[in-house]
Amino acid sequence: MNDAMKLLMRHVILVFALLHSQPLIGLPGQIERHVIAHPLHTGEEIEFFIQKPEGHSACPAMLLLHGYQPPDNSSGGAQFIEYGYLQRFVKEGIVAIAISIPGYGKSKGTRDFGGYSSQQAIAAVIHYVKDLPYVDPSKMGIYGISRGAQLAGMVTCHVHCLDLQILESGFYDLLSFQSDTPDYLVGIRKSIELEGGHSTDELIARSVIYHADAVKAATLILQGEFDDRRQLPAAQKLHDSLRQRGVKSLLKVYPNELHALPVDKWDTIIPFVREHFFELYGIGVKVSEATPAMQILKIHPDSPASHHEKIKVGDAILAISSNNDAHEISALHMPISQFTSLILGKKNTAVRLRVQHFDLSVEEIVITRG
């Protein structure tokens, strides 16, 4: 297809989409449902949901791709609404877009296990979203889970306006999956053959590990140690390949976890997104919200707080000086959103905390963000 035809096709998609956008009544946070035409198949449509932060400035955008859902109970991208994923990103000042992959939810089309047709469908949504007035097209990312991660990885290989990807429990090498999985996962193997084929070329066309040289996006890979899809070696190989080429990549392996990851995955996801989209860094602590003074619940490994000798789990934060100067704000009864905004800052800047240790002693602690 020449450039003129591509431009015409994109214009048709955008006009069709504008005619088929509508709000979802009754859902929290002004979530809107949109439908656009599939760029390859006449009569097929792609459904997606958008929730945006308050305000009028253009914001970064995160596209979300779900995993497998049974045909008789498939909500598509709406699943992310139910589980609160959109709201997590919106709270960070990020436009959240949950897409129903073709064949799921109310997106029409045939399931093809992340093949070319699904890749083009997601690309069409990306091109539509990047032209919205409240989206900053220079800051766009994609987050996929399981089969959604496999699809997200392949989309990022071809759509270079995406500068961030989060891949969770994904299928990165379908060749190894077909030859090295438990017998009880035969249903997934059959789905791959039914939807995508079983030839080497068809499997490679769906496996990001063989296309890693095309990835330019900063990458976060989340994987359970005992995920029975046995893609941890492929995740490690993908991570190493990206780093060798100078692409920013972080691999987070969750010890003793399976395919579905625990909720504390957000302790890795949100800082990664803040750093990349906003160049905001914290100090690596998780705090309580229930007491008058916030207590430190967790110190993240390899964080600024973890390398500081004096700050400990159980410490109560009494006051904060965001710029380590004479201006100090009491942290007693402080909303968590205000606390977060004071802790976050540019890399290598200092924040001062007045803490009461568990032995009741009080101390001023200065930590450099990073």
**88-123 tens-digit pLDDT:** 999 999 999 999 999 999 999 999 999 999 999 999
Q: Give φ, ψ of 249 to 5 degrees.
A: -145, 135
User: Domain coordinates of the chain in residue numbers?
Assistant: 3-278, 285-368
Flag the least confident range among 21-25, 80-84, 343-347, 362-366. Answer: 21-25
Question: Cα-flanking dihedrals φ and ψ of residue 125, to 5°?
Answer: -65, -40
- In this prediction, residue 78 carries a pLDDT of 98
Tell me the mean pLDDT in the region 42-60.
94
d(C-alpha 149, C-alpha 168), whole Å: 6
pLDDT for residue 290 is more than 80: no
Tokens for 147, please give them. 């089969």
- Looking at residue 250, its pLDDT comes to 97
Highest-confidence segment of 102-111, 301-310, 333-342: 102-111
pLDDT in tens, 184-204: 999 999 999 999 988 999 999
The residue assigned the tokens 């089309």 is 109
pLDDT at 28: 40
DSSP letters for 271-321: HHHIIIII--B--SEEE-SSSSSEEEEEE-TTSTGGG-SS--TTPEEEEEE
Given a cut of 90, is residue 17 above it in pLDDT? Answer: no
d(CA 257, CA 275): 26
Q: Residue 356 and residue 37: Cα distance in Å, rounded? A: 58
Q: Which two tokens stand for residue 336?
A: 């968590």
Q: What is the mean pLDDT of residues 163-181?
A: 94
pLDDT of residue 10: 47
pLDDT, tens digit, 9 for 90 and up, residues 255-272: 999 999 999 999 999 999
Between β-strands 294-299 and 285-287, what pairing exists: parallel, antiparallel or unpaired? Answer: antiparallel
pLDDT at 29: 56
The pLDDT value recorded for residue 161 is: 96
145-158 residue pLDDT tens: 999 999 999 999 99
What pLDDT is stored for residue 218 in this prediction? 98
Q: What is the pLDDT of residue 181?
A: 86
pLDDT of residue 5: 44
Q: How many CB atoms lie within 10 A of CB 29?
A: 14
The yes-or-no verdict on residue 23 having pLDDT over 80 is no
pLDDT digits (tens, 9 = 90+) for 198-228: 899 999 999 999 999 999 999 999 999 999 9
Determine the average pLDDT of the residues in 352-366. 95
CB 310 within 8 A of CB 363: yes
pTM: 0.87
Give the whole-angstrom CA distance, residue 265 versus residue 162. Answer: 22
CATH code reported for the domain at 3-278: 3.40.50.1820
CATH class of 285-368: mainly beta
